[in-house]
Structure formats: structure tokens, C-alpha cells
Amino acid sequence: MTLRIFAPLIAGLLLGTATEAKQGGQPVFTDTFDGGSLDRWEVLDPATWRGNADGTVEITDRPSEYKPPHRSPGHVALAKGVKLEGGCRIEFRVKSTKDTGPHRDCCVFFGWQDPAHFYYVHLGAKPDPHSGQIMVVDGAPRLALTENTKPTPWDDDWHTVRLDHDPESGRVAIYFDDMEKPFMEVNDKTFGGGRVGIGSFDDLNAFDEVRVYDTE
């Protein structure tokens, strides 16, 4: 009798746990940048990144000495020890630290195979075919996968960003403050899993509270 009563409950709890893991669950990587440390990141141009005593990190200079093999972002920080086999969710807080008008931007990197093969989202203040889009770099200069026309509403405050990538379906969705409705969305299967990171094309940002989930 006891088993009959509790078996459905146990099954429900297990299903709930599996669903939670698929949707996020426990992160495989978390960094709140305590003490302003960048030790857990592979920064491709360390001279332009700085850790702060308030527990944030930031990009300090728009030009970058990192020269990618193809036209793509110059400020890239990849999470060390994280190479996902399948889907992921990336969450973080970001603040634009300089008003560069239409050039304000932030980038999220995922499906990173190497410097010539990866996805990134460019959250640009003024969208055009090379700004404010979900992009792919596939052995050639970056190519927009979306035709977004919505400006990213940058100001001097902190914002919350979330990226969901499901290689099986090809779905990529980026959220900006509103976690219910995607800011941009597309389907593409060029790359599956890979490394993940944060950064900017050529602008100044501060970052905090990064979490990466394996949603495979």
C-alpha cells in the first residue's frame, strides 16, 4: 500500500528533476567574480580586461590586440574548463560603461570550436546586417542569421541577458531583461556544442554573475 501511494509521487519528483535539468538545473559553471578575479577565464586580449574590487569585471579599452582570422569580435573571454557536448543556457548581468551611441554592444559566444568557427550574439544598439544580430563565423567573416530591426535598449544600468541553444532543433534564443519573450530567435545547425563566453565586438562593458547550464 505504501509503495502504491508513494510510487507516483517519486516518479513525479524524478520527472520534475529531469525537466528542471533540461531547462537549467544546476549550473556547470558559475562566476560571481569575487575579488574581481579573471582566473577562470581565457581572455584573448588580457590587456583590455580588468577585475574590480566590487566583484565585477570589465572591458577597459575599445581597441583590441586580439586579431581574429576573420572579421568578428575583438573582446572575447571564454570560460575555462567548459566545453559542452550539446545544448546550453548562459545567464549573466551586463552594464554598458560608456555611451558610444549606436556602437554600444555586448556579445555572447557559444558553440565555439576555434577562433574561425563559432556562434555569437551581438546585442547592438543600432541593428543592421552586422550589428544587433545572431551571428555565425564559419571559416569566413561573420554572417547574420537573423534580420533583427529592434535596437538593444542600452543605458547606464545593469541588464540581465540569457541565451538558450538547442543544437538538436537548431534553436537559438536570446533574452534581454524580459525572460519570457526572446529578444531574437533563429534556427541553425551549423555547430553543436562547444565553448562559451562573453565579451564585445569593440565596446566597453562590465559583467557579473555568469552562470552556464548544460541542457543536453
Q: What is the pTM (predicted TM-score) of this model?
A: 0.89
Helices and strands (H, E) in the chain, number of each type: 1, 15
- Other CB atoms within 10 A of residue 58 CB: 19
Is 4 or 88 the better-scoring residue by pLDDT? 88
Distance CA 184, CA 109 (A): 15
The superfamily in CATH containing domain 27-214 is Exo-inulinase; domain 1 (2.60.120.560)
DSSP 188: -
- Give the pLDDT confidence score for residue 1 in this predicted structure: 41
Residue where the block lists cell 581572455? 43
On whether the CB atoms of residues 56 and 31 are closer than 8 A, the answer is: no
Dig out the grid coordinates for 63 from the structure.
581597441
pLDDT at 160 over 50: yes
- Give the pLDDT confidence score for residue 198 in this predicted structure: 99
Query: How many Cα atoms sit within 13 Å of 17 on the Cβ side?
Result: 6
Sheet strand arrangement including 117-122: 41-43, 75-79, 195-200, 107-114, 117-122, 134-138, 143-144
Tell me the per-residue pLDDT of 97-111, one tens digit each, with 9 for 90 and over: 999 999 999 999 999
Tell me the per-residue pLDDT of 13-24, one tens digit each, with 9 for 90 and over: 433 433 344 555
CA angle 51, 200, 26 (to 5 degrees): 70
| % of the chain beyond a pLDDT of 70 | 89
Q: What is the rounded average pLDDT for all residues in the chain? A: 91
- Give the pLDDT confidence score for residue 19 in this predicted structure: 36
DSSP 103: G
Q: In the chain, where are the structural domains located?
A: 27-214
Tell me the per-residue pLDDT of 44-75, one tens digit each, with 9 for 90 and over: 999 999 999 999 999 999 999 999 999 999 99
